[in-house]
């Protein structure tokens, strides 16, 4: 008991001086109130600040920000930015990021997650399973789009929306054409997406904080509604999340640049599919369904991370003329498969490879004797002209001696 009291006093002293701002227009909303409550329980100086009350100042060599005409002096931000003010809210976040104010989700991460097409592109590129999706801008593309996602019925979405808005299920070609034509006339880009029949009217929401899933729930639609959103009167229940679902959720949040995210997963016959990633997930439903103090988990994460700033290495190095970061995808140069890193940079005194991306992980400062595989991505840093010259020379000099069998082995990672 004495030990617990001492630990609590120690934590309280460590939290003193940390100021957290919850960026929200709705101080009475459940999620905002819960975050404030949990921060105050930990003796944190916390305040709800309206993103529409900021003024941003930019000049040569100087940037500044004020809130309601006063200097902004908070150490950390928890963004709760609504869809309707995304553009302005992200502008505020970016200004604060330039001032090295720590933010739980970056402006870039929020933008990437809210554009359904962009999010799908990033997820697919990182081999995170999603329903087959086609982007449509012309009525002539509709039939090909339907075929490419597996045929009727299909789900039709606008590229931005929240809480199930702008999402439709259509069963016939006539219905699809009528809906798409109407949406295109409003100037909104359209996605035609594969319908996962076995997951009709239900999905799983996994709440990711940092690098772990802290809570999860299954959502079910009522009646004939196929959208399972809690705000559409869907039901919620606790669910024991399988590890493969948790890993997909963590990876989805990570590649979209989000530290706090609600990842919606479909339970398909082939395993988990990422339906959507929400950068400002509601806390009410998932706290009730799971019994987990999600708001407390978020505040604890902010406390543990707010002292450390993330760095955009490429942007940092570009402040030095001629310096920067390059990536090389080995799949585009299969003749390099099996080559050692040291062979690529014969003219360099050191191997300028910061990391090697392999099998959904990073190998930092890889050994110069490491052999390249087909799916590897090299991340190099240094003087750009020299980097390009060395890599071009290696690409040209190494002959392509791969047989189809060897290429198949390299794709699966067999050396």
Question: What is the rounded CA–CA span in Å between residue 86 and residue 52?
Answer: 11
* DSSP 8-class letter at 343: H
One DSSP character per residue, 156-188 reads: EEESS-STTTTEEEE-SHHHHHHHHHHHHHTT-
Name beta bridge partners: 274. 265
Contact at 8 Å (CB) between 262 and 205? Answer: yes
Residues 53, 379: Cα–Cα separation, whole Å: 40
pLDDT reported for residue 226: 66
Query: In sequence order, what E strands does 240-391 have?
Result: 260-268, 271-278, 323-329, 353-358, 361-364, 377-383
CA 329/CA 13 separation, integer angstroms: 48
Which CATH number does the domain 2-105 belong to among 3.30.470.20, 3.40.50.150, 3.40.50.20, 3.40.50.620? 3.40.50.20
77 CA to centre of own chain: 18
Taking only Cα atoms into account, the Rg of the chain, rounded to an integer number of angstroms, comes to: 24
Closest by CA to 379, choosing from 368, 393, 363, is 363
Q: How many Å apart are CA 78 and CA 95, to the nearest integer? A: 15
Element housing 134 (H / E): strand 133-136
What residue segments make up the domains of the chain, in order of their start? 2-105, 132-195, 313-411
Q: What is the pLDDT of residue 81?
A: 93
CATH class of the domain defined by 132-195: alpha beta
Instruction: Compute CA distances 271 → 155, 198, 244, 262, whole Å.
Output: 19, 11, 8, 18
CA–CA dist 376, 411 (Å, integer): 9
* Phi-psi category of residue 92: left, alpha or beta, with phi > 0 → left and psi -120 to 50 → alpha: alpha
Q: Which CATH architecture has domain 313-411?
A: 2-Layer Sandwich (3.30)
Helix (H) or strand (E) holding 119: helix 116-125
Q: One digit per residue, pLDDT tens: the chain, 415 residues? A: 444 444 444 454 445 579 999 999 999 999 999 999 999 999 999 999 999 999 999 998 788 999 998 999 999 999 999 888 999 999 999 999 989 899 999 999 999 999 999 999 999 988 999 999 999 998 999 999 999 999 999 999 988 766 557 889 999 999 999 999 999 888 888 999 999 999 888 999 999 999 999 999 999 887 666 666 655 557 899 999 999 999 999 999 999 999 999 999 999 999 999 999 999 999 999 999 999 999 999 999 999 999 876 766 666 767 778 888 888 999 899 889 999 988 888 777 778 888 999 987 889 999 989 999 999 999 988 888 888 888 888 888 776 655 555 444 443 333 3
Using alpha carbons, select from 9, 1, 87, 99 the residue that is nearest to residue 58: 99
What is d(CA 73, CA 287) in angstroms, rounded to the nearest whole number? 31
Supply the pLDDT for residue 232.
56
What pLDDT score was predicted for residue 4?
A: 47
């Amino acid at each position: 008991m004495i030990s617990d009291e001492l630990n609590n006093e120690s934590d309280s002293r460590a939290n003193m001086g940390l100021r957290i701002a919850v960026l929200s227009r709705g101080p009475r909303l459940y999620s905002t109130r819960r975050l404030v409550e949990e921060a105050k329980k930990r003796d944190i100086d916390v305040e709800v600040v309206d993103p529409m009350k900021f003024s941003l100042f930019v000049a040569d060599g100087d940037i500044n920000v004020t809130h309601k005409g006063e200097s902004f002096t908070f150490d950390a931000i928890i963004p709760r930015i609504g869809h309707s003010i995304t553009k302005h809210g992200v502008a505020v976040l970016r200004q604060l990021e330039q001032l090295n104010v720590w933010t739980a989700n970056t402006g870039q991460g929020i933008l990437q997650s809210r554009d359904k097409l962009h999010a799908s592109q990033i997820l697919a590129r990182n081999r995170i399973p999603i329903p087959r999706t086609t982007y449509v801008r012309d009525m002539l593309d509709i039939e090909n789009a339907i075929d490419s996602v597996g045929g009727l019925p299909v789900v039709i979405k606008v590229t931005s929306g929240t809480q199930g808005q702008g999402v439709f299920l259509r069963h016939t070609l006539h219905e699809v054409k009528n809906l798409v034509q109407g949406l295109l006339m409003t100037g909104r880009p359209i996605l035609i997406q594969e319908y996962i029949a076995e997951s009709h009217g239900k999905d799983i929401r996994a709440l990711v904080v940092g690098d772990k899933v802290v809570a999860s729930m299954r959502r079910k639609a009522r009646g004939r509604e196929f959208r399972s959103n809690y705000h559409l009167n869907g039901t919620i229940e606790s669910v024991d999340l399988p590890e493969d679902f948790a890993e997909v959720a963590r990876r989805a949040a990570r590649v979209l640049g989000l530290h706090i995210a609600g990842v919606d997963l479909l339970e398909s016959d082939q395993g988990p599919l990422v339906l959507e990633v929400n950068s400002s997930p509601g806390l009410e439903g998932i706290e009730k369904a799971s019994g987990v103090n999600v708001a407390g988990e978020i505040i604890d994460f902010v406390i543990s991370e707010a002292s450390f700033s993330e760095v955009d290495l490429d942007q940092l190095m570009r402040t030095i003329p001629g310096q920067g970061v390059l990536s090389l995808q080995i799949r585009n140069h299969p003749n390099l498969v099996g080559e050692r890193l040291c062979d690529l940079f014969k003219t360099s005194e050191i191997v300028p490879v910061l990391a090697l991306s392999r099998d959904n992980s990073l190998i930092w400062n890889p050994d110069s004797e490491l052999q390249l595989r087909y799916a590897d991505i090299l991340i190099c840093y240094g003087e750009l002209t020299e980097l390009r010259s060395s890599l071009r020379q290696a690409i040209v000099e190494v002959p392509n001696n791969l047989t189809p069998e060897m290429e198949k082995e390299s794709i699966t990672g067999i050396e």
